[in-house]
Amino acid sequence: MTTRGSARLGLLASLFVIGFALMGFEMLGSRYLNPYFGSGITTWACLISVVLFAMMVGYFAGGYAVDAWPGVGLLALCVVLAAACMLIVPQTANWLLQFIIEGLGDGFAGVLTASLALSLLPVAFLSACSPFVVRLLLVDLDAGGKTAGLVYSVSTLGNVAGTLATTFYLIPNFGIRAITTAFGVALAILAVLLFFGKRPLGKGVRTAAVVALLVGPAVAVAWPWPCFAEDPAHDGWAASYPEGPLWVGERLLYTEMGASKVVEWKAGQRRDFWQEPGCGPTAISAFRDSQFIVLCHLGGKLVHLDASGRKIGEFKSAADGEVLRDPNDCHTDGRGGVFFTDAGLFMQGAPATGKVFHLAADGTIRKLLDGVYYANGIAVDFTGKRLLLSEHLARKVWQFDLRDDLTITNRRLFLDVGRYFSADEIDYPETGPDGIEVDREGTIFIPVYGSGRMLAVASDGTVSKLTVRTKFVTNIAISAANAAVVGAFANDRPGLPGWVEVLPRQTLLALVKRTVVAPVR
């Protein structure tokens, strides 16, 4: 093959890689936006419009630039700038999208702004490459149409390959952040080899294309992704202020306070399990043999369901006549009954009116504790024979000895949550510990509402600090195989948009080991 033919083939191969990354990144964009804005027609319309607009900007700017500075050097610069933009996305997408949704909401303005923030620059830089390749390959004006047609055909073929490969292979197997990094690494390699191989053009760009396609994905697969970066085994979906998850085997039940319902997830399929307007449920627990208790936080009552989700009855007061106000979180007592909290007022400086109750299997409710500064998460550590309680507004978790008669005694501090957060990490006044979960290995998980973080206290006392998807993370539940983390993106907007995420239990435990922030307490 002649030097000219080799150079031509190398440029076209590079253009295929660029086209692949461009449309692959568009498909990834939809996945970044989905947790915050959903996957409806508004999201797709905004994303597609932004991508088309960015391509227009790139074609226009690239056409002018190549006439002024023809050569491979500026082509390489466009590619490396696109690579830099993509490499930034996995590290900044969560806080950027959270900032946008808090400021503009999840409607048209929010999703359009988010689409622009994610896609405008990388897509524009990649689109600018096509005019460069046309100019570099054009040697005969009489063949200008053929040259332009060939360039845009190869680019579009890369677009098609990138769309199909990303959607049907890469996302299911590697997760969006790993793939984004793979694209960024691949493009960076391509840019470097384009630049340094610009003299022996054919050899340089052919090598660039091959190395970019092989090394980029390898780097991304080996990348040590931090907590809750998407994993091929993760499952996640939008929900209206999800709370109180409960595993029944590998079947997950959770509440949606904003939709006043309980949802069941099993083997990747979801269905409404129970619903009652005005309930505002925040937790569900096993009760008796195979029945359930749902805490209606807004309705001020407990609802008794059978195994199929049919309502059997209600509990509205304790045995001494004390009326339930704001039932909040619950946990089985291991004997067919349920421990639960009654929250009190959720406001800094409010009176400490939170309470802890016990519902026995025979239906009797008795009060165990009052005077709590917003009683939130509750859990039983059966191995340690203790009950754990989140005093949310005090930013503390307490532990009590659990007696054989299921009363509690010997209150003492388990964790001062505020100690693990600096002042600049807390921008929400009511930040504090929410739900509590005790893993079978003795690790205790404490989502910290309003912080986008979760603390994990290992059995040896070391404390880890995990970043989670939702700012207003409410709870976690762990089964033998999986963990479910739930929370809301916003707590003051209609719809109360939130997210349910299911990930392998071993993945969660591995993240805990990688995010230790404090030695043994």
Asked if residue 7 has pLDDT above 60, the reply is: no
How far is 180 from 167, CA to CA, in rounded Å? 13
Half-sphere exposure of 65 (CA within 13 A, CB side): 22
Q: What is the pLDDT of residues 264-294, one digit of tens each?
A: 999 888 999 999 999 999 999 999 989 999 9
Half-sphere exposure of 214 (CA within 13 A, CB side): 6
**Per the structure block, which two tokens stand in for 99?**
């900032």
**Per the structure block, which two tokens stand in for 408?**
């509690």
Q: Which of 103, 505, 50, 40 has the alpha carbon at shortest distance from 238?
A: 40
Which of 114-123, 195-204, 292-301 is the least confident region? 195-204
Residue 501, phi then psi, degrees to nearest 5: -125, 130
Q: What percent of the chain has pLDDT over 90?
A: 52
Which of 107-111, 125-129, 144-148, 502-506 is the least confident region? 144-148
Asked if residue 215 has pLDDT above 50, the reply is: no
3-state secondary structure of 298: coil
How many other C-beta atoms lie within 10 A of the C-beta of residue 150? Answer: 17
Asked if residue 487 has pLDDT above 60, the reply is: yes
pLDDT of residue 42: 85
pLDDT category, 6, cuts 50, 70, 90? low
pTM of the model: 0.64
pLDDT of residue 216: 46
Asked if residue 251 has pLDDT above 60, the reply is: yes
**Per the structure block, which two tokens stand in for 515?**
């995010």
Q: Which residues pair with 448 in a beta bridge?
A: 433, 453
Which residue has tokens 């960015």? 54
Which residue has tokens 């332009």? 148
pLDDT (average), residues 247-271: 94
Side chain identity at 19, as an amino acid letter? G
Give the residue with greater pLDDT, 23 vs 146.
23
Average per-residue pLDDT for the chain: 85
Which of 4-18, 222-236, 324-338 is the least confident region? 222-236
**Per the structure block, which two tokens stand in for 375?**
């009683």
Q: In what order do the strands lie in the sheet with 291-296?
A: 281-287, 291-296, 301-305, 311-315
How far is 328 from 285, CA to CA, in rounded Å? 12
How many other C-beta atoms lie within 10 A of the C-beta of residue 357? Answer: 25
Asked if residue 517 has pLDDT above 60, the reply is: yes
Return the DSSP state at 277. T
**Per the structure block, which two tokens stand in for 502?**
């299911």
pLDDT of residue 217: 46
Which residue has tokens 């969660």? 508
Asked if residue 372 has pLDDT above 90, the reply is: yes
Residue 403, phi then psi, degrees to nearest 5: -75, 170
How far is 191 from 208, CA to CA, in rounded Å? 8
pLDDT (average), residues 433-445: 96
Return the DSSP state at 62. H
pLDDT (average), residues 419-429: 86
Asked if residue 75 has pLDDT above 90, the reply is: no
Q: Which helix (H) or strand (E) holds 96?
A: helix 72-104
pLDDT category, 307, cuts 50, 70, 90? very high
pLDDT of residue 86: 92
- For the chain, list the domains and their CATH numbers: 3-222 (1.20.1250.20), 236-518 (2.120.10.30)
Which residue has tokens 């199929």? 308
Q: Which of 372, 378, 359 has the alpha carbon at shortest distance from 319?
A: 359
3-state secondary structure of 211: helix
Q: How far is CA 392 from CA 97, 209, 331, 341, 467, in A?
A: 27, 54, 17, 12, 19
pLDDT category, 495, cuts 50, 70, 90? confident
Which residue has tokens 């933009």? 85
Q: Which residues pair with 310 in a beta bridge?
A: none
How far is 390 from 145, CA to CA, in rounded Å? 70
How many other C-beta atoms lie within 10 A of the C-beta of residue 194? Answer: 28
